[in-house]
Amino acid sequence: MAQFENVSVAKKANVYFDGKCVSHALTLADGTSKSVGVILPATLTFTTGAPEIMELIEGECKVTLAGATEPVTYRGGESFEVPGDSSFQIEVLDTVHYVCHFG
Amino acid sequence: MAQFENVSVAKKANVYFDGKCVSHALTLADGTSKSVGVILPATLTFTTGAPEIMELIEGECKVTLAGATEPVTYRGGESFEVPGDSSFQIEVLDTVHYVCHFG
């Protein structure tokens, strides 16, 4: 499915790291919150409040979760989970288009 | 209104000018196409196919339409129209969050 149907979308984006990450917040019909966004090639560290699942629509990145010693590579079509109150470092090799699902 | 309700939104963004502009395409319930996006501080030239109205949600920019000699400054809450099959130069002074309405 290339798009979400029947959602609310914020007109204003969230811009992180000087624009290296831009996302728009969505609310599904059942009240679930998600975001759609892009991360440009860079190495960034994100922190989480709620647990989240990052679903890669396109792109390639190496992700190192807090406490992990080795990065894991993810590409379009793959996902990774991040615990709540945690962080992850992401090295974007090819611009990442993602959907973030909040737990 | 801070958000669009009952729309379809593309999971994959459109990324222009090495990420200086990132947008997501929307389709409203009545079939109307719009996009929501961000333009980071930069001076860029966009071309149009269909006529469009750029509605600034936030930010500040100077816009020079094709054939104009002087730029006009626009800020959040303001809009400008661009004819079809034309172009405009935009100098973004403060990150622009926008809704693009296609004519």
pLDDT (0 to 100) of residue A1: 80
Average predicted confidence (pLDDT) for chain A: 97
pTM score: 0.96
The per-residue pLDDT for range B51-102, each reduced to its tens digit, is 999 999 999 999 999 999 999 999 999 999 999 999 999 999 999 999 999 9
Choose among A9, A18, A97: nearest Cβ to B7. A9
Q: Looking at the predicted structure, is the pLDDT value of residue A103 above 80?
A: no
**Option in A2, A15, A58 nearest B38 (CB):** A15
Query: Which of A4, A5, A19 minimises the CB distance to B19?
Result: A19
Q: For position A79, what pLDDT does the model report?
A: 98
Interface of B with A (CB under 8 A): 1-13, 15, 18-20, 22, 24, 26-27, 36-38, 40, 57-58, 95, 97, 99
C-alpha B78/C-alpha A102 separation (Å) is: 33
* Nearby residues of A57 by Cβ (< 8 Å), 6 or more positions away: A76, A97, A98, A99, B11, B12
CB contact under 8 A, A40 and B57: no
CB contact under 8 A, B12 and A58: yes
Residue A41 to residues A34, A50, B6, B96, Cα–Cα distance (Å) = 22, 25, 32, 21
**Does ipTM surpass 0.90 in this model?**
yes
Q: Cβ of B13 and A5 within 8 Å?
A: no
Q: What is the pLDDT of residue B1?
A: 80
Binning pLDDT at 50, 70 and 90, where does residue B46 land?
A: very high
Q: Residue A54: its chain B contacts at CB < 8 A?
A: none
pLDDT in tens, A61-99: 999 999 999 999 999 999 999 999 999 999 999 999 999
DSSP string, B20-87: TEEEEEEE-TTS-EEEEEEE-SSEEEEE-SS-EEEEEEEEEEEEEETT-SS-EEEETT-EEEE-TT-E
Answer whether A66's CB lies under 8 Å from A99's CB: no
